[in-house]
Each structure stands twice: as structure tokens, then as C-alpha cells.
Structure 1
């Protein structure tokens, strides 16, 4: 069930909150098992076939962790991580590797049309983070219920944010509604939920009509005009931001309703003045994962400039592949790796750049490379690039109003988390958010619901 759906907002969420509140009030020991059960119901609502995979993933990794702590066998953790990544590759990348093999003359690798289990990338990375830290002696052992909740907590299981065990496990033992700030947390959680819904439903989804037809035309081999190319590229730039940051705001807000604080994932990324700054603001928890568990492991900036540049390129290329099983994603990630490497060389050479120029160059780079992220093939991306760079007819009918509004909201205001925590409690504010929620519900009932873009990753 989608966060932006009636069944979630008007049925599942109220029922979940009531059950959680009753357990917290009368049977505190039941609180965590109930949250685990609710998380499995939420996950299984999409497709019951996915539930055994999630349950087996949780159970096997927990058993490996227990076995490692008993035996201290150094081979167990690498084997478990390799198995997790192998399962991810089997579901997500088997056809991708088959396509690569088919480029070799005489090879005819078959395609297997398996359904990609939702959230498999995210819960796999949660396993990797915990097991890696366990092997390093940084993570303790946890019982099965707590570990299951860490992996499967329903606000973040499908599309993050990527949460380290150290950020959330200690919160499971709190009595959230006994805190002095419990009412404030609930209020701010509801505000974040409303803001996230509004970003998705009122800003992100309307941009789809400016984006999808153009990229579909490019995929069909049609000529994309200059106006269409810039409309679709700028439209997607803000569509993916409002779609994904809206999901994150909803996840953070929902977690607060259940007494859990999740890490932020976006910090006004389109105000970044360098590519490094952009990745500190965009999908922050993924950037942190890539840095700490890939980049540093490859040597990072500790073994000389050559290793650093190679590690940046490899990390971002793998990050691109994680986003999607296609060469366009690989190219997108590699370009960002090259861009980050160019930034390192610039700073090593003592280069300086005015903030405004840095913002402009960063924005252009990010916007243009989004084409590879969105296009279904290099041929489709090339058709859009031709339009962007004036190698196609000028065209007309640029839909600028929706894009301009989206750009203003994305770049001028604070992040939703910062805004919600700055607002003082007030009845008028509560009424305003109640009205916003009603407007969102009316919009959901009026239009088709779009799935979140990151659900496909």
C-alpha cells in the first residue's frame, strides 16, 4: 500500500497507531512484537510472495550474527554479506548481466522475468551495515524481535532512509509516550507526514505530465525539441526530488508517531555549490553508506591521490549500478565519480570559485546527468541531449509554471525537517495542516496515484 493512498492513510495507519498505543499503555512488552507484525502486514500487502523472502533474510542474518558471536569464525560474516549481495544480484541484476553476456557473439543468455521484491536493496544494505560493524566489534548482539524491527520497520523498509543500527536500536527500549516531549513529537510527526504528502501529491506527481511523454517519445525514437528536452529534464529534476524527499518526510513523520527518530535524508540539495556538497545533501544516508562501507574500504583519501580518484570513480559507479540494473545508471554514477574527482583535483591545485558560479556549474551538471538516470536507453538519452544542446528543432509550448513553482519551493525554503521543528505549537498552525491534509486527500481521490520513483530501485 502506498503512503499516498486511502487504504494506508484512513485504514492501516489509524489501526496501527491504536494497536501501538494500547500496547504501550497496557502491555509495553508487546510493543515491539506488534511493530514487527505491523511491518510484515504492510510489506505483505504489496505481494505476499515477498514476505517469506524478508522473513528468511532477517532470520538467516540474525542466526549468522549469533553464530559469529559464539564461534568468532572470521569467515561467517563475509560469507553472509556475499550471500546477501548474491540474492540482491539474483533478483535485480541477473537480466542485466545476461544483456551484457549477449553482447558477446554467439552467446544467448536467457532472461528470467522475476518480480523485483520491493525494498530488497534497502534491507540488504541494512544487513551489510550491521554485519560489517559486528565483525569490526562495533555492534552488539540483539534479540530476533529487535533485529527484525531494525530491518523491517515499515516506514523505511521500502525506500529508506538507510539507518545504522546505532541510530535506532537504543530507541526501541524507550517508552515513547511517557516522554515529556511525546505530544510535540506526535504533532511534528503529523506535520512531516502532511508536508511529505503535499510534496509528492501536489508538486512531484503533477510534473509527471511534463516529463513522461517526452522521455517516452525519446524511447520510441522520435525527435525531441529543445523546448521539450528542457521541459522534461527540468521537470524530472524536481519530480524526483519531491517524490523521494516527500517519501522521506513521510517516513520520518510516521516513525515519530511511533516514537522513533530516523535520520534525515535531504538538506536542500539544489542549493549545493559543489558536487561534493550536493552529495552531502542528496540521499544523505546512501552517500554516508557509500563513503563508509565502500569508499573508505577502497582506501579513500588515505593512500594517495591516485587511489582516492579511483575509489571515488568506483564508488559512484557502483552507486549508479545500485540505483538500477542498466548501463545508463552505470554511466550516470561514473559521471558523478568523475565530477567528484575533478573537484578533488581543483581543490588540490588551490582553485577557488565564487559560490554563485559553483552553484551554477553544479546545478547544470546535476540537471544534465539526470537525463541518463531517467532515460530507458542511451539512444533515448541521446535524443534528449540533442534537444538540450540545440541540435533539434526549437519547438514550443514549454510548460514553465509548474516547474517554476517546484524550483522555488525546492531551492528557496528550508528542508521540511528544519521547517517543522522551527514552527511553534499553535492552534492556527494545526488548523492549517489539517486543511492541507484534506486538500491532499481530495487530490488523491481525484487523480491517479503514482508509485514512488525509488520503489523500482
Structure 2
């Protein structure tokens, strides 16, 4: 499953890079890279906040900002006021992924993906709380924290995120569609990009 996670990451990275080429060529716009070496993340906060798909404020602000405002009124400016806002953001992300999977597969939601994001949200809140509690007095070596972070993402992804993709055949359909697209492009430019044998 670790190899599958690497395959998915590389596939998404490649698709986003290929998508960025026409944008730059046609309208001269350089798209912001979506990943910043997520395999080097040293914490879940680092993984989701900086290294995985870049979240624009347009995405995370709608759930985060109003929940943070309400929780600040209730809890004051304590560190706990961020927790409900972080959890709401991860919950909305999970629900959005369920909708995307539904439209791609037409299979009823299993809520595994939502639980994946909720679990990661809870762990990010726990991590932030623990970091504040120790106040920088104790820190894991980068090799240890990085291994734990990426390992956690891979294990929970294999457990809760990817089963819905593989069970509904979305991965195989995507591979088939990419090969059709590569064949189409290859025919237009005179290259045999995909072997048909």
C-alpha cells in the first residue's frame, strides 16, 4: 500500500504539472505548485499546512473563519478556540471528498474518507496542543518525526482513504482515461505515447 500511495502522489503531481503547461503556454500564467515535498513533512501540521495540496484561503476560510469567530466568543482567545475551527475545516474537506467520490463512482458514500479527514483533524489539534504544552523544550529528531508523520499518513490513507478509490475501480478508470488522452495527444503530434500491444 505504501507503493500505491507513492504511485497516487506521483500521478497527481504529474497530472497537475501537465495541467499547468497549457495555462502557462496559452495565457502566460504560472500556476502555484500544489505540493512542496510532502514526503519531507515533520508533523501533520507541516504536512497539511504547507506540504500537501496548497489550500488557498478561498477553500479553508469558509469553514475555518466563522467557526473560529464563534469558538473565540465562547472560549476566549485560548488555544482551544482554534480546535473547533481546525476540526470544521477537516470535516468539510472530508465531506467534499465524499461528494467528489460520489460523482466519480456513483456509489453511495461509505464515510471512510470523511473519517480519514476527521481523524487527521483530531490529530492535528492534538499535535498543536502538545507542541504548546511542551513549549519547544522537547522535540523529536527530524528523521523520527518525519517517519512517524509520513507513516501515519500512509497507514491511515491505506485504511480509510484509498479503499473507496480501489473498491469502486476509480483508479483503473483514471488510468484508462489517461492512456486514452495520451494516445489522442500522441496521434495529434505524431508520437506513439502508449503501446497498444
TM-score after normalising by structure 2: 0.68
User: Does 2:128 match 1:337?
Assistant: no
Residue 14 (structure 2) pairs with residue 240 (structure 1): no
8 Å contact kept, 1:266–1:282: yes
Provide, for residues 203-246 of structure 1, a one-character-per-residue CA deviation record: whole Å limited to 9, x for no partner.
xxxxxxxxxxxxxxxxxxxxxxxxxxxxxx21221122112111
CA distance in 2, matches of 1:285, 1:248: 15
Residue 373 of structure 1 is matched in structure 2 by: 161
- Once residues 342 and 289 of structure 1 are traced to their aligned partners in structure 2, the CA distance between those partners, rounded to angstroms, is 25
Instruction: Give the superposition deviation at 1:265.
Output: 0.8
**What do you get for the CA RMSD once the two structures are aligned?**
2.5
Aligned with residue 293 of structure 1, among 48, 62, 70: 62
SS at match of 2:140: coil
Higher helix share: 2
CA contact (8 A) 1:273 1:359 kept: yes
Residue 443 of structure 1 and its aligned partner are, at CA, apart by 4.3
Q: Which SS does the other structure have where 1:263 is aligned? A: coil
Q: In structure 2, how many angstroms separate the alpha carbons of the residues matched to 1:298 and 1:442? A: 52
**Is 1:282 aligned to residue 52 of structure 2?**
yes
| Deviation of the 1:320 alpha carbon | 1.3
Distance 1:254 1:443, change over 3 A: same
Unaligned runs of 5+ in 2: 100-108, 168-185
Matching residue of 1:323: 97
Q: What is the TM-score when the length of structure 1 is the normalising length?
A: 0.31
Residue-by-residue CA offset, 1:320-339 (whole Å, 9 max, x unaligned): 11112430111011011011
- Length, aligned pairs only: 153
Where does structure 1 differ by over 3 angstroms across 4 or more consecutive aligned residues?
Answer: 288-291, 300-303
Equivalent residues of 1:319, 1:333 under 8 A apart = yes
Name which of 38, 41, 45 aligns with 1:269.
38
C-alpha deviation, 1:341, in angstroms: 0.6
| Structure (1 or 2) with the larger CA radius of gyration | 1
- Counterpart secondary structure, 1:285: coil
Please show how residues 90-109 of structure 1 align to structure 2 within 5 Å: none
Alpha-carbon distance, 1:442 to partner: 3.7
- In the alignment, the residues of structure 1 paired with residue 39 and residue 66 of structure 2 have an alpha-carbon distance, to the nearest angstrom, of 29
CA contact (8 A) 1:268 1:281 kept: yes
Structural mapping, 1:20-419, within 5 Å: 233-258=1-26, 259-279=28-48, 280-285=50-55, 288-299=57-68, 303-325=77-99, 326=109, 327-349=111-133, 350=135, 351-371=138-158, 372-376=160-164
What is the CA-CA distance between 1:304 and the residue it aligns to? Answer: 2.5
Task: Tell me: CA distance 1:289–1:353, structure 2 relative to 1, closer, same or farther (3 Å).
Answer: farther
Residue pair 1:269, 1:278 contacting (<8 A) in 2 also: yes
Q: d(CA) in 2 for partners of 1:297 and 1:236? A: 37
CA apart distance, 1:263? 1.9
Give the corresponding residue for 1:220.
none
> Quick one: distance in 2 between partners of 1:354 and 1:367?
20
Q: Is contact 2:45-2:128 (8 Å) kept?
A: no
